Amino acid sequence: MPWGLVRVCQCLWLVAGLSWAEAATLTPNEAALYEAAKKEGEVTWYVGQFATDVAQQFGKNFTERYPGVKVNVYRATGQVVFQRLSQDMKAGVRQCDLFSSTDIGHSVYLKAQGQYLRYKPENAAGLIPAFQNIDPDGYYHTTQVNTVTILYNTDKVKPEEAPRKWTDLLDPKWKNKISLGHPGFSGTAGTWVLMMRELYGAGYMEKLAKNNPQAGRSLNDTITMLNAAERVVAAGPTATALRSIAKGNPMAIVYPEDGAVLQISVSAIVKDAPHPNAAKLFFEYLLSREHSVALAETYYELLRPDVDPAPGAKPMREFKIVQPTIEAIVKGIPEIKELWRDTIGN
């Protein structure tokens, strides 16, 4: 390339906010999407997959990578973001660009209703094979993986006394001491309750109810309750617990003998999204190696094989995993909400 043309290209990229080195790393598809996304200027993300501060940081990371494209983050629990999107659609409001829920059943339903734009990100090919092609038709893709494990407050519970498996939470000694998430609000909590029913039958929740567990809306609320010693054991999100431990809070994780509950969460672009190119670019970013490094640094399970876990995070290959099928989630989540109301009652 003639030097004069090189200088012109460099100036163009600098005006766009990227260094020459950064610009050189863009794939042709990524560069084309970025040019189109800059004209749209923003992308609106309805997200239940991450804590608020984490989701906002991921949005900032994206804008630092792609100056001129802002991420508007609307974060709530999985069931609440779905309710918000459903209300938008009913009212004919097109506000959400990318939808990221913790309940894969939402995406199965929205796809069937023709509410998604089909898009397969280039970066989806770099995911761990087990997380690829969650939807064979390519409408939604894995963007977060998390596990639910047993947590306990180390100031209140000795390691040798901590529960080792999910059935240990039924021991009367934990009465008024257990923290849970609410499946009526949290998709992750719903997946956990569903898995307990699959493993131990509906009677598990009836027995657990006798211990009077305290339920927050989000599964992340269990971390707050443990740190405040309002409750001393919990079924909680591993990633959030690891971040809390890293801050020096008195908490420890038990990987249950009967299996940590694995949850695969997906994202999709909403049909007639107001910022479709920015949504595609953001989708590519959420599946990129750069973002996967940020996921690892915030202790989420790894999406890609070319990224190492954060110090202190145990790779999934080192502990037992249990997971409901997509079909079981679609059918079972509405049922376990009724089961929860009939047993736990709040």
For 235-286, the DSSP string reads: EEEHHHHHHHHHTT-SEEEE--TT-EEEEEEEEEEETT-SSHHHHHHHHHHH
DSSP classification of residue 234: E
pLDDT of 12: 43
Q: 3-144+265-297: what fold?
A: D-Maltodextrin-Binding Protein; domain 2 (3.40.190)
Query: What is the rounded distance in angstroms from the CA atom of residue 303 to the CA atom of residue 75?
Result: 21
Q: Does domain 146-262+316-343 have CATH number 3.40.50.2000?
A: no
Dump pLDDT digits (tens) for 186-226: 888 999 999 999 999 989 999 999 999 998 888 899 999 99
pLDDT above 90: percentage of residues in the chain: 79
Dump pLDDT digits (tens) for 271-280: 999 999 999 9
Q: What sections of the chain are H helices per DSSP?
A: 3-16, 20-24, 28-40, 52-65, 78-91, 104-112, 187-200, 203-209, 221-227, 238-246, 276-286, 289-297, 326-343
- The 10 Å Cβ neighbour count of residue 269 is 25
3-144+265-297 against 146-262+316-343: fold identical: yes
Structure-token pair, residue 137: 């038709």
In the chain, domain spans: 3-144+265-297, 146-262+316-343
